A and B are shown apart, each in its own frame.
Chain A
Amino acid sequence: MFQEESSSVTSSPLQVFSMMSLSPNLGSPYPWLRELKSEERGLYLIHLLLTCANHVATGSLENANIALEQISQLASPDGDTMQRMAAYFTEALADRILKAWPGLHKALNSTRISLVSEEILVRKLFFEMFPFLKVAFVLTNQAIIEAMEGEKMVHIIDLNAAEPAQWIALIQALSARPEGPPHLRITGINQQKEVLDQLAHRLTEEAEKLDIPFQFNPIVSKLENLDIEKLRVKTGEALAISSVLQLHTLLAADDELLRKKSPLASKNLNGIQLQRALQMNQSTLGELLEKDMVNGYSPSPDSTSSSPLSSSASAKVDSFLNALWGLSPKLMVVTEQDSNHNGSTLMERLLESLYSYAALFDCLESTVSRASLERLKVEKMLFGEEIKNIIACEGAERKERHEKLDKWIQRLDLASFGNVPLSYYGMLQARRLLQGYNCDGYKMKEENGCIVICWQDRPLFSVSAWRCRK
């Protein structure tokens, strides 16, 4: 065993620890864990997370359980960044394990109350605490203004109309343009009627104040069930589409079906793992684990290239994009997360999301106090939920399928959209906005005419503009 050299801090607890005979049921079996310094604790947490994920992926629930137990001693939603992250990641892993018992999972989640007001609040907090949405709005609005120069009738479709700030800013900008404001129509799509009602009220109020002919059309619908006819795009009006963090939800597809159909799935199943899984007494568990292992072991097609598997999985998004293209928009601005959280194996997704969410949690750590309730809400209700979705869900349930910018560029290009570089002026404004945040962790870089917003070096969000290419 290699225990020489260890730093003085850890040596004693570790030595003590190694001599302990531990059973999983001890109340507080790891006293030494508490004495770890924050950095070591963080590293240890990472190690444990990876271990646990590995166990989950391979179906060794006992070990996963042990790892979860250990992590729970260290992780905490109000500790330091790594502790918080670990808390949410382990919750996601536990959720994933629990899905193997669907009845249990459903029963535990049956009494959950999700308040619309809380969701709205969390979205607002995300808008305010981070510059990402603001930068996206600034860039989107600037692109729209420039594209709509000289247009008298402007119709904007917002694929997730929730935040009035963006459109209020646009209304103000349009009212100030030299040739006078255009006749403006905004169609907002959202799953919650209350959000749309509030938005309608705010925007109509604003437009009346500025004396702009304005109309707001709400559409209460899920994006994947959107009826294009309902958008009522009229001829003669200039159409702009704004998609902020929406398109990736359309990538959710029934992976299982696809994978089973694919010949690749069966080939690379690790025989040992499969055997071990089948040895499990619970047949249902075994099947589920096999499924899990299918997820875990089929060779994930290189996430950066499109494979036949992914193309059929993205049929939904392709048909959606085609429908949008059919409306002949003058401009479409797409804001998406710029991380690859759509790998087909759990480990892939876990690794990637560890990095991405580490960056996001670091953002909060650097800008908000640890005691802030808002921070906790954002971490738990927004990031925690996203992490849970990425880690614990599969198939059509897994909606948070973030992908890298180059894949989106490919996809949009395939759907006959041509990239429009974002204007210099827009970028300048966005840059100044970021600088104004007075936190030098936020960075912005340009990539192929698109903007990528990063935290330190980790790209997090991308904004790109597109036109209809005939």
Chain B
Amino acid sequence: MPVDLDNSSTASGEASVSSSGNQNPPPKSTAKKKRNLPGMPDPDAEVIALSPKTLLATNRFVCEICNKGFQRDQNLQLHRRGHNLPWKLRQRSSKEVKKRVYVCPEPSCVHHDPSRALGDLTGIKKHFCRKHGEKKWKCDKCSKKYAVQSDWKAHSKICGTREYKCDCGTLFSRRDSFITHRAFCDALAEESARAQTQPSSQNQNQAAANPSSESDPKTQAMESSSPPAPPPAPASVSAPPPAAVQVSASTTSVISSSVLPMQSGELQENPTPILEEDPPPPPPPAPAGLNGSCSSSNSSSSNGSSSSTVFASLFASSTASASLQPPQPPAFTDVIRAMGRPERPADLAPSTSTEPISLCLSTNHGSSIFGTAGQERRQYAPAPQPAMSATALLQKAAQMGAAASNASLLRGFGIVSSSSSSAQQDNLPWGQRQVEPDNASVPAGLGLGLPIDGSSGLKELMMGTPVFGPKQTTLDFLGLGMAAGGSPNGGLSALITSIGGGLDVAAAAASFGGGDYTGKDIGRNS
């Protein structure tokens, strides 16, 4: 567009004039104003560059006599009448007013260039406010902010008025985003049909508040997730956010980029598909609660949603498996939320703050790993564990080792580590459950101790081991009567001592003198 230098110079010339702020607006012409094509200002239009101050000045029309400012030219004219001006000066200049175009005073703006000047003063004012101004006007229904009052008014008229509601319960104020969502919603609905029941009621309100953000990112995200997220998920809260994480696993980068700007709605949807993938039984309400809280917090603040999404993608990328039934820790979410947003106490269980979402997501995610295992866990949680836990085994070994030991050992009987007194308290009963005193059979211990000798052969070692047996009488070999007392590790030490005792004996050949075990072992092993 050829707005050449002449215009620029004109503009600059004009600028100095116009910055004073006193400008006669073009007369209202009865003829229809010729409108240039958008983006293409009139090449011989006068380019006006106003300073920001001038641009935003509310009283643009200033009386030259008394310098009083008016917002409207008509008002100024009315006022001028009162000055009793001589007739000559009363007239407006009849000079044909040149077409004027305006440039944005902000140097970094694309409209700063005269070739991109805007034709309307009001237009440039609004542009300047919108792009380079502070958003002073806030919608009271939602959180949108505006720099131009007319934008704000326009928005509040429609905010909350027209709502499209999808079957899944998500609300939209824009028709296009609603339609896009609905297209995918059906697919998700199938998934959710398979999914477990969703209890969450808490989510409903939150889900309702789901503003539809860019549908494209959503679509993108949807597409990227292998199974489309069932819309009911957010409402139903069945899918813990980590689920989303799972789904995104395959398309982390896509999701993170696309999901980020999205509101919580999207987030919720993402997780759901993952959840749906899992055949496992419905997650306990806890996850629902968590989900709800996550979604609620998400919907309540864009920040939250984006952060959760971020985490979702983060966690998604790291996990391989998509299994999920994380026994969600809703409480955690709450807590974390509460931590982050104390000003929203309303969301009780669902909690308010979003920040913890990251942590809660991680939790979920973690538990999602448990998902598959979770079922197992659930399966055998009620039933007695098939395998003894390692801790229990150690305790038992310690007990066995201490079984034949004397009272002093038992006192130091720490089935758990030495310094945890509290733990010790709990374990004392073990130790005190003294074994039959007749177990102080040194020979048995020696039976074991003997083979463990550098110089003796394999067979002795072998022979020692068969003595191993669950019954206490058999296990005397573990407790060599003379167990080193006072060892903080109690039974296990005794166990070791007994083993160590064998070593000592080696030098002395296989003599069954249990009493020979002296402080050597004790010194060595404690």
Which A residues form the contact surface with B (CB < 8 A)?
1-7, 10-11, 14-15, 17-18, 20-24, 38-40, 42-44, 46-47, 50-51, 53-55, 58, 60, 62-63, 66, 70, 80-82, 85, 121, 124-125, 127-131, 134, 137-138, 141-142, 145, 164-166, 168-173, 175-176, 178, 202, 205-206, 209-210, 268, 270, 272, 276, 296-297, 299, 303-304, 339-340, 347, 351-352, 354-359, 361-362, 365-369, 372-375, 404, 406, 425-426, 428-430, 432-439, 445, 455-459
Q: In the complex the two chains form, is A340's CB within 8 Å of B471's CB?
A: no
User: B residues within 8 A CB of A54?
Assistant: 452, 496, 499-500, 503
Q: Tally the A-B contacts, defined by beta carbons under 8 Å.
A: 353
A-B contact pairs, 17 of them (CB 8 A): A6-B471, A11-B469, A42-B387, A121-B318, A125-B369, A165-B359, A168-B358, A169-B358, A170-B355, A172-B354, A303-B418, A351-B496, A355-B417, A358-B391, A372-B369, A435-B332, A456-B391
B373 at the interface (CB under 8 A from A): yes
Of all chain A residues, the one with the shortest Cβ separation from B307 is A172
Most buried by A among B286, B328, B394, B493: B394
CA distance in complex: A137, B360 (Å): 11
Contacts A137-B359, A429-B338 given; 8 further ones with Cβ under 8 A?
A3-B469, A5-B469, A23-B458, A38-B388, A127-B366, A145-B339, A352-B417, A358-B394
User: B residues within 8 A CB of A172?
Assistant: 303-304, 307, 340, 353-356, 358
Per-position binary interface string of chain B over residues 503-526, scored 1 when its CB falls under 8 Å from any chain A CB and 0 otherwise: 110010000000000001001110
Count of chain B residues near A, Cβ 8 A = 109
Per-position binary interface string of chain B over residues 400-420, scored 1 when its CB falls under 8 Å from any chain A CB and 0 otherwise: 100000000000000011111
Q: In the complex the two chains form, is A131's CB within 8 Å of B366's CB?
A: yes
Chain A min CB distance to B315 (Å): 7
CA distance in complex: A3, B418 (Å): 33
B221 at the interface (CB under 8 A from A): no
* Known A128-B318, A128-B369, A141-B339: A433·B332 in contact at CB below 8 Å: yes
Q: In the complex the two chains form, is B477's CB within 8 Å of A2's CB?
A: yes
Q: In the complex the two chains form, is B339's CB within 8 Å of A130's CB?
A: no
Chain B min CB distance to A261 (Å): 21
Q: In the complex the two chains form, is A436's CB within 8 Å of B452's CB?
A: no
B459 at the interface (CB under 8 A from A): yes
Q: In the complex the two chains form, is B462's CB within 8 Å of A22's CB?
A: yes
User: B residues within 8 A CB of A5?
Assistant: 469, 471, 473-474
Of all chain A residues, the one with the shortest Cβ separation from B290 is A436
Chain B min CB distance to A83 (Å): 9
CA distance in complex: A166, B361 (Å): 12
Minimum-distance CB pairs A-B, first 8: A436-B329, A172-B355, A438-B327, A358-B390, A429-B335, A432-B331, A6-B469, A369-B373
CA distance in complex: A235, B387 (Å): 58
Q: In the complex the two chains form, is B393's CB within 8 Å of A372's CB?
A: no
B47 at the interface (CB under 8 A from A): no
User: B residues within 8 A CB of A209?
Assistant: 260, 303, 306-307
B314 at the interface (CB under 8 A from A): yes
Chain A min CB distance to B413 (Å): 13
Q: In the complex the two chains form, is A304's CB within 8 Å of B419's CB?
A: yes
Per-position binary interface string of chain B over residues 459-474, scored 1 when its CB falls under 8 Å from any chain A CB and 0 otherwise: 1011101111111011
User: A residues within 8 A CB of B339?
Assistant: 138, 141-142, 145, 173, 425-426, 429
Partner of A268, one of B397, B418, B495, B523: B523
User: B residues within 8 A CB of A456?
Assistant: 391
Q: In the complex the two chains form, is A432's CB within 8 Å of B334's CB?
A: yes
Chain B min CB distance to A307 (Å): 16
* Known A3-B467, A24-B458: A457·B423 in contact at CB below 8 Å: yes
Chain A min CB distance to B244 (Å): 15
Chain A min CB distance to B243 (Å): 14
Chain B min CB distance to A168 (Å): 5
Q: In the complex the two chains form, is B422's CB within 8 Å of A445's CB?
A: yes
Of all chain B residues, the one with the shortest Cβ separation from A123 is B318
Q: In the complex the two chains form, is A340's CB within 8 Å of B303's CB?
A: no
User: B residues within 8 A CB of A142?
Assistant: 339
Q: In the complex the two chains form, is A438's CB within 8 Å of B329's CB?
A: yes
CA distance in complex: A428, B304 (Å): 22
Chain B min CB distance to A7 (Å): 5
Of all chain B residues, the one with the shortest Cβ separation from A429 is B335
Chain A min CB distance to B484 (Å): 11
8 Å CB contacts to A: which residues of B468-495? 468-471, 473-474, 476-478, 489, 492-493, 495
Chain B min CB distance to A131 (Å): 7
CA distance in complex: A66, B461 (Å): 9
Partner of B417, one of A39, A365, A433, A458: A458
User: B residues within 8 A CB of A404?
Assistant: 419
* Known A2-B447, A43-B397, A358-B393: A62·B335 in contact at CB below 8 Å: no
B50 at the interface (CB under 8 A from A): no
Partner of B388, one of A42, A53, A141: A42
Of all chain B residues, the one with the shortest Cβ separation from A50 is B496
CA distance in complex: A82, B387 (Å): 9
Most buried by B among A20, A169, A352: A169
Partner of B356, one of A63, A169, A270, A439: A169
Chain A min CB distance to B352 (Å): 9
Q: In the complex the two chains form, is B458's CB within 8 Å of A66's CB?
A: yes
User: A residues within 8 A CB of B321?
Assistant: 372-374
Chain A min CB distance to B267 (Å): 14
Q: In the complex the two chains form, is A46's CB within 8 Å of B393's CB?
A: yes
CA distance in complex: A129, B343 (Å): 31
Partner of B336, one of A138, A210, A361: A138
* Known A130-B366, A436-B330, A436-B363: A355·B387 in contact at CB below 8 Å: no
Of all chain A residues, the one with the shortest Cβ separation from B467 is A2
Q: In the complex the two chains form, is B386's CB within 8 Å of A129's CB?
A: no
